[in-house]
Amino acid sequence: MYKIIGTDFVSNYVHRKHPELEIVSVCGNGYQAYEEFIQNPADILLTDIRMPVMDGLDLIQKLQEESYVFVPIIISGYNDFTYEKTAMRMG
């Protein structure tokens, strides 16, 4: 079973579609997700690109710089390919 940390909207969606996955934390903003991940690292990080306090790209970059190993999954409803290009460069 994979441990997942995500933000509100994304985690609720995943829980409905894949109830077999263990969502260990649901966070309201990027900084809260960062703090939670530090305390309880997960296998998968589900994030929106744009969030309050710290956006999803900054969240992923900060965790990668600190050498955490996880699979980032980014969800976005924005129609701006700049975000997608940045996310793809990050892996």
State the CATH number of the domain containing residue 39.
Answer: 3.40.50.2300
pTM of the model: 0.72
Residue 21 belongs to domain spanning = 3-89
Spatial separation of the C-alpha atoms in residues 48 and 30, rounded to whole Å = 9
Beta bridge partners of 23: 4
- In the chain, the number of structural domains is 1
What's the average model confidence in pLDDT over 42-61?
85
**67 torsion bin: left (phi>0), alpha (psi -120 to 50), beta (else):** left
Residue 23's pLDDT band, with cuts at 50, 70 and 90, is confident
DSSP per residue, 21-42 = SEEEEEESSHHHHHHHHHHS--
Average pLDDT in the chain: 79
- Contact present, 42 and 26 (Cβ < 8 Å): no
Whether the CB-CB separation of 33 and 5 falls below 8 Å is answered with yes
